[in-house]
A = this chain, B = another copy of it.
Amino acid sequence: MKDKFFKYIHELQDAITSKLEVVDSKAKFKEDLWERPEGGGGRTRVIENGNIFEKGGVNISGVHGKLPKSMQAYFKVGDVDFFACGLSLVIHPKNPMVPTVHANWRYFEMYDENGNIIDSWFGGGQDLTPYYLFEEDAKHFHQTCKTACDKHNKEFYPTYKKRCDEYFYNTHRNEGRGVGGLFFDYCKASETMTMDRWFNFVTEVGNSFLEAYVPIVEKRKELDYTNEQQNWQEIRRGRYVEFNLVHDKGTLFGLKTNGRIESILMSLPPHVQWVYDHHPEEGSEEEKLIEVLKNPVDWV
């Protein structure tokens, strides 16, 4: 399974970066290969200062060795070996009418002293963070998520949509990071779902990413915007930073266990503002967004 999924994320990274380069039509992804001293490494691809994409990363990594102490405590296991691989992406478009997107698909294995798998699971998801709300975009994104989920289990979409709203939440602001999508974790073998079936589900979601996001980019990328709208985008990007640095378990785990910093923090937006006590005007488009972030919507 680990070889099969590791191969899959390589192919998916290629598919996603090629397509995004076509969409951008100016900037190319820059590739950095890196090695982890304790075992494994990754292939980081970052795009900057494009026509459409101001900054974005589409990264894969596969790491293995002794499970770090902090993770042993987190998973409540002893001194075991592990393997983990995944693809993580965050895309920050230049135009505030085009939403930021994040996605991640990952697989994890732990081994006993004889190298037998003692536990394994998939995790991942994809979610959308608009600066201006176009309801049809949120609907399209969620509908694509739902279509992928429904092929596997009708319960998956409502369950993982709800988890996404709960996970990507800035508790200190009482608002969601964006309009959500899917979030799932600890997808383990059960009576109804073998690991092969989970593989089919997770890759179905991975394969749906470009269909979920690219049509939104195409539809909004030519829209005009003002300096004020760009300021709003940069203020909202501040909330994105707050979530990733204060609440996101993946980011904090990476920072505290000596991960490759530049690959982890590629998720942070290029230009960001913090304005003291900023509030959108009553009845404005900006306020309409905040309302939706405070009260998650059933988009499909």
Residues of B within 8 A of A55 (CB): 274, 276
Residues of B within 8 A of A58 (CB): none
Tell me the residues in window 207-253 of chain A with beta carbons closer than 8 Å to chain B beta carbons: 234, 238, 241-242, 245-246, 252
A176 CB to nearest B CB, Å: 16
A262 within 8 A of B: yes
Assess A172 versus B246: contact at CB under 8 Å? Given A32-B277, A274-B272, A275-B270.
Answer: no
A46 within 8 A of B: yes
Residues of B within 8 A of A32 (CB): 277
A48 within 8 A of B: yes
Residues of B within 8 A of A273 (CB): 270-272
| Structural contact, A57 and B276, CB atoms closer than 8 A | yes
A197 CB to nearest B CB, Å: 37
What is the bound-complex CA distance between A268 and B46, given in angstroms? 26
A261 within 8 A of B: yes
Of the candidates B46, B256, B261, B272, the one whose C-beta lies within 8 Å of that of A272 is B272
Residues of B within 8 A of A245 (CB): 241-242, 245-246
Residues of B within 8 A of A96 (CB): none
Of the candidates B261, B265, B266, B277, the one whose C-beta lies within 8 Å of that of A262 is B277
Q: Which residue of B lies closest to A265 (CB)?
A: B274
Assess A270 versus B274: contact at CB under 8 Å? Given A242-B245, A246-B245.
Answer: yes
What is the bound-complex CA distance between A25 and B33, given in angstroms? 51
Q: Which residue of B lies closest to A271 (CB)?
A: B273
Q: Which range contains the number of A residues in contact with the other chain?
A: 20 to 34
A19 within 8 A of B: no
Residues of B within 8 A of A242 (CB): 245, 265
Of the candidates B172, B234, B241, B266, the one whose C-beta lies within 8 Å of that of A256 is B172
Assess A271 versus B271: contact at CB under 8 Å? Given A173-B261, A241-B245, A261-B172.
Answer: yes
A292 within 8 A of B: no
What is the bound-complex CA distance between A268 and B275, given in angstroms? 9
Tell me the residues in window 34-60 of chain A with beta carbons closer than 8 Å to chain B beta carbons: 46, 48, 55, 57
A269 within 8 A of B: yes
Q: Which residue of B lies closest to A255 (CB)?
A: B172
| Structural contact, B262 and A276, CB atoms closer than 8 A | yes
Q: Which residue of B lies closest to A173 (CB)?
A: B261
Residues of A at the B interface (CB closer than 8 Å) are 30, 32, 46, 48, 55, 57, 171-173, 234, 238, 241-242, 245-246, 252, 255-256, 261-262, 265-266, 268-277
User: What are 9 of the A-B contact pairs (CB < 8 Å)?
Assistant: A30-B276, A32-B277, A171-B256, A241-B241, A242-B265, A262-B277, A271-B273, A272-B272, A272-B274
- Other A-B contacts than A30-B276, A48-B276, A172-B255, 15 sampled, CB-CB below 8 A, are A46-B277, A172-B256, A234-B271, A238-B268, A241-B241, A241-B245, A245-B246, A262-B277, A268-B274, A269-B274, A270-B273, A270-B275, A271-B271, A271-B272, A271-B273
